[in-house]
Amino acid sequence: GQDTVVSELKKPLVPASLNLSDYFKQFLFPQNECELHDFRLSFSQLKWDNWIVAPGRYNPRYCKGDCPRAAGHRYGSVAHTMVQNIIHETLDPSVPRSSCVPARYSPLSVLTVEPDGSIAYKEYEDMIATKCTCR
């Protein structure tokens, strides 16, 4: 079987399309790990552009993905998160695993036309998710 071995050895270890960091990542972290995702919308899609003048586009972002069993410092998780995962796995599966949720937000400036025709510039807190955590 030498020629089989030789042909096997000639095969690339890593598929050309996958670079090394991604290759190792699949071993180190779960595939769809809890992380921040974009969702760009314009207020005209929501038919709110008759009173929201600016911004023209808004990306509130959101958190999605699986929380690893030992969601430690990497997510800024607290000890309770791992306790809940252990309960889910060993005692009672009806207790849900920890969830992937926003941990930090940033504000949004909005320019609106009020019903009386006046114009308002306002800065609202907590309108864009900037970091995820497992809770």
Binding site for another protein (CB under 8 A): 46-48, 50-51, 53-59, 106-125, 127-128
Task: Name every residue whose Cβ is closer than 8 Å to that of residue 107 and which is 6 or more positions away in sequence.
Answer: 123, 124, 125, 126, 127, 128
- In the complex with another protein, which residue's Cβ is closer, 58 or 75? 58
- In the complex with another protein, which residue's Cβ is closer, 92 or 125? 125
Determine the Cα–Cα distance for residues 53 and 131; give it in Å rounded to an integer: 28
- Mind giving me the DSSP string for 55-77? -S-B---EEESBPPTT--GGGT-
- In the complex with another protein, which residue's Cβ is closer, 23 or 121? 121
The minimum distance between CB 52 and another protein, in angstroms, equals 8
The minimum distance between CB 45 and another protein, in angstroms, equals 10
The minimum distance between CB 58 and another protein, in angstroms, equals 6
